[in-house]
Amino acid sequence: MIPGEYALVLAAAVAHAGWNALLKASSDRLLSLAAIRLVGLLLGAGALLVVPMPAPGSLELLVAAAAAHFLYFWLLINAYRVGDLSVVHPVSRGLAPMVLAFVAWLAVDEALSPAQVSAVATISGGIGVLAFRGGASRAALAFAVGTGVTVAVYSFLGALGVRAAGTVVGFQAWLEILTGIGVLAFTAVRRPAASLWAYARTQGAVGLSAGVLSVCGYTAYLLAVAALPMAAVSALRESGVLFAALIGTVLYKEGFGLRRVLAAALVTGGIVVLGVAR
């Protein structure tokens, strides 16, 4: 049976796939990102009424995690500007668990068991299979790799932050507030008011729905990583790439050929190993 924490992260993976599927339909990624972060800002501000403040020792990690998120947002938007979702997303998300495993081992001596290493590698490999498509430009791959590295960095900082903060939701609330204020301020400078209102009328509900899924997914990751190895949790979370592929097949009538069957088999096998290797 999958342990409770891993089941929580599987739910986060599904949420991650859901908001990416909604983001796929957006005509303006910056405005969609602003809508997502607006939801996080509002939920974070509301949570402050009922959750404790993070411990003072976690504040530097909180600021660093927010900065890493800003770099991630910039790289992600640029990656989608020059590359396809079907290439950028699997490359960045498949790379992140492997980078995080190395960083966690090097920085805080968080070692995985041989079975967990095998599971992380298998899940990352399955995600990578989805990225094996021709035609991707060097710029797209470069941005995708950079995005994957920043995913690992903000995941690492977030994990250390919640462990030091003494409150997962309190840390996450302040992280949502900081990133929300930053993204909304940047968007207000880069987009005229008319485009904001036009987006709100036509795609506002989609953006807000994506925001709820995004916040829930990352909160689930932080709840799990407070007790479980970072790389194992990250690998399970990034299996949302496969769920996104399944959503694409069901909703967008995309093909589910041999490549996706192989990816599904690898990711599923890795998830099973993680479930029994605790």
The model's pLDDT over 192-223, given as tens digits with 9 standing for 90+, comes to 887 888 888 887 787 788 888 888 888 888 98
**Tokens representing 230?**
């970072």
CA gap 53, 62 in Å, rounded: 12
| DSSP per-residue codes, 34-85 | HHHHHHHHHHHHHHTTTSPPPPGGGHHHHHHHHHHHHHHHHHHHHHHHHS-H
**Tally of helices (H runs) and strands (E runs) in the chain:** 11, 0
pTM: 0.86
Residue 10 — pLDDT band, cuts 50, 70, 90? confident
Question: In the 8-state DSSP scheme, what is residue 277?
Answer: -
pLDDT of residue 236: 79
CA gap 166, 109 in Å, rounded: 21
pLDDT of residue 21: 62
pLDDT of residue 26: 67
CB neighbour list of residue 2: distance below 8 Å, 6 or more residues apart = 10, 271, 274, 275
- Residue listed under structure tokens 């097949």: 249
DSSP H/E element including 5:
helix 4-24
CA distances from 230 to 142, 235, 267 (A): 25, 9, 17
**Tokens representing 140?**
């797209």
Look at residue 246 and tell me whether its pLDDT is greater than 80.
no
Look at residue 160 and tell me whether its pLDDT is greater than 90.
yes
Mean pLDDT to the nearest integer, 2-30: 69
CA gap 153, 150 in Å, rounded: 5
